[in-house]
Amino acid sequence: MGGRDLNHIGVIGGGAWGTALAASAVRAGRRVTLWALEAEVVQAVNESHENPLYLPGVALDSALRATGDMAEAAAADAILLVCPAQHMRAVSAQVVDAGADAPLVICAKGIEQKTLQLMSDVLGDTAPGMDMAILSGPTFAAELAKNLPTAVTLAARDDGLARSLIDALGHNRFRPYQSHDVIGAQIGGAVKNVLAIASGIVAGARLGDNAAAALITRGLAEIMRLGAALGARRETLMGLSGLGDLVLTCGSIQSRNMSLGKALGEGRTLAEVMGERRSIAEGVYTASGVAALAARHDIDMPICAAMDRVLNHGAAVGDEIEGLLSRPFKVETV
């Protein structure tokens, strides 16, 4: 695909991240149509220029149009898929069925539980032959929505597609960096959500800053091992969509995954915390997929495995902490 003008951007998903990306694309000078499942989100964006359900307190440009009609949003020059990872298969199929004939940009982070597929593989099933890219990096939706500086990785195998998307979406407060590594751009974003829950547990259990730094460092080693097995480039995993995203998500209670882990570390149950939330902590669902991939490829990922046992198999947080701290001493290698 050669370079082309992408003037109309469709954003599929009216949550915090989808709304923030839509607001950013308006700032870049694009015409933007935001599709939202909830009728109250569509009404609020169009009439009061806000999304109080997912981004309270953030004013949106009146040029941003929201719709509940998938075909309207799919009739765009490029389409950002900003749905939860476990819904990517169904949502992308709906987009294709609605007549989409434009590049699809994956903005979800995760591994499909049932198939252990990355989101690019899911789109390979639901949108075969369509142009595809990955947008991932260290991003809190509220900060981008408020026009604070943000940098991301924009990965596509086609140079022309990547450049066209960067020209369409980039501006001085939203800086996409080009990559060819579609696999690597997805692995960091998926695994860091699992590690962020572990980081939150460290904070909630008051294990200290030393433990927090150790967890991030050893967590990065786990990301690197999985990346090597799946064909990712090391430089990608050390970049914005890898190390950058890991540091952000493990270092701030703004992170939905870290805040969930903090509640677990303080002694609350997963059911209690999940029952209070409208937004999704992707790491809960990705943990089982990461653990299964590690087992399939015979990769040692002890932190992710511990999180899978806590989140999906009823293991006690205290027992898993002691188990990790009791592992044999070893040489520090990735």
For the segment 209-233, the average pLDDT, to the nearest whole number, is 97
Domain 8-180: give its CATH code: 3.40.50.720
CA 264, 266, 272 angle in degrees (round to 5)? 50
pLDDT, tens only, 181-203? 999 999 999 999 999 999 999 99
Domain 183-325: give its CATH code: 1.10.1040.10
pLDDT confidence tier of residue 145, bands split at 50, 70 and 90 = very high
If DSSP states are collapsed to H, E and C, what string results for 198-240?
A: HHHHHHHCCCCHHHHHHHHHHHHHHHHHHHHHHCCCHHHHCCH
What does pLDDT average to over the chain?
95
| Residue 204, CA distances (Å) to 80, 189, 211, 271, 316 in order | 35, 23, 12, 17, 14
For the segment 122-146, the average pLDDT, to the nearest whole number, is 97
What's the predicted TM-score (pTM) here? Answer: 0.94
* Domain coordinates in residue numbering, the chain: 8-180, 183-325
Q: Are 27 and 173 in contact (CB under 8 A)?
A: yes
Is residue 331 scored above 80 in pLDDT?
A: yes
CA 276, 279, 281 angle in degrees (round to 5)? 95
Is residue 1 scored above 50 in pLDDT?
A: no
Is residue 281 scored above 80 in pLDDT?
A: no
122: its two tokens: 């899911």
Find the range with the poorest average confidence among 62-71, 182-191, 226-235, 250-259.
250-259
Residues of the chain with pLDDT > 70, as a percent, come to: 99
- Residue among 146, 192, 262, 330 flagged as catalytic: 192
Judge whether 8-180 and 183-325 match in fold.
no
**pLDDT value, residue 3:** 62
For the purposes of burial, counting CB atoms within 10 Å of the CB of 168, is it exposed (0-12), middle (13-18) or buried (19 or more)? buried
Is residue 4 scored above 50 in pLDDT?
A: yes
Q: Are 304 and 195 in contact (CB under 8 A)?
A: yes
Residues of the chain with pLDDT > 90, as a percent, come to: 92
273: its two tokens: 């915390």
For the segment 84-98, the average pLDDT, to the nearest whole number, is 97
- Whether 192 is catalytic is yes
